[in-house]
Structure 1
Amino acid sequence: MFNRFTPVENSLFEEFKRLEQEMDDLFGRWPWPIGIRSASRGSFPAVNVGATPDELDVYLFTPGVDPKTLDISIQQNVLSVSGERKSARKENANYYRQERFDGEFRRAITLPEDVDPDKVEARCENGILHIKAQRREAAKPRQIEVK
Structure 2
Amino acid sequence: MSDLFLGTDLFSEFDRLQRQMASLFGGFPSSIRSERSGAFPAVNVGTTEDSIEIVAFAPGIKQDNLEVSIDKGLLTISGEREAAHSENDAEVRPYAQERFVGPFRRIVELPQNADPDKVQAHYANGCLSISIGKHESSKPRSVTVQ
Gap runs ≥5 in structure 2:
27-35
Superposed CA RMSD in Å reads 2.9
Per the alignment, in what secondary structure is the counterpart of residue 116 of structure 1? strand
Give distance in 2, aligned partners of 1:49 and 1:40. Answer: 16
Give distance in 2, aligned partners of 1:94 and 1:125. Answer: 32
Please give the residue correspondences for 1:28-67 in structure 2 after superposition, counting only pairs within 5 Å: 40-41=37-38, 43-67=39-63
Give distance in 2, aligned partners of 1:131 and 1:75. Answer: 15
| Residue 103 of structure 2 corresponds to residue 107 of structure 1 | no
Give distance in 1, aligned partners of 2:108 and 2:79. Answer: 15
| Residue 68 of structure 2 corresponds to residue 69 of structure 1 | no
Shift of 1:5: 8.1
Shift of 1:99: 1.1
Give distance in 2, aligned partners of 1:123 and 1:63. Answer: 14
| Residue 7 of structure 2 corresponds to residue 13 of structure 1 | yes
Alignment length, in residue pairs? 127
2:81 matched residue in structure 1:
85
Give distance in 2, aligned partners of 1:99 and 1:40. Answer: 14
Shift of 1:125: 0.6
Provide the TM-score with structure 2 as the length reference: 0.74
Shift of 1:40: 2.6
Per the alignment, in what secondary structure is the counterpart of residue 68 of structure 1? helix
Runs of 4+ aligned structure 1 residues displaced above 4 Å come to: none
Give distance in 1, aligned partners of 2:133 and 2:44. Answer: 17
- Give deviations 1:89-133, integer Å, cap 9, x for gaps: 453222121111111110000000111100000000111000000
| Residue 121 of structure 2 corresponds to residue 125 of structure 1 | no
Percent sequence identity is 39
Give distance in 2, aligned partners of 1:116 and 1:65. Answer: 27
Letter in 1 for 2:50: D
Gap runs ≥5 in structure 1:
33-38
Per the alignment, in what secondary structure is the counterpart of residue 7 of structure 2? helix
Shift of 1:60: 0.4
Give distance in 1, aligned partners of 2:70 and 2:97. Answer: 33
- Structure label with greater radius of gyration: 1
Per the alignment, in what secondary structure is the counterpart of residue 72 of structure 1? strand
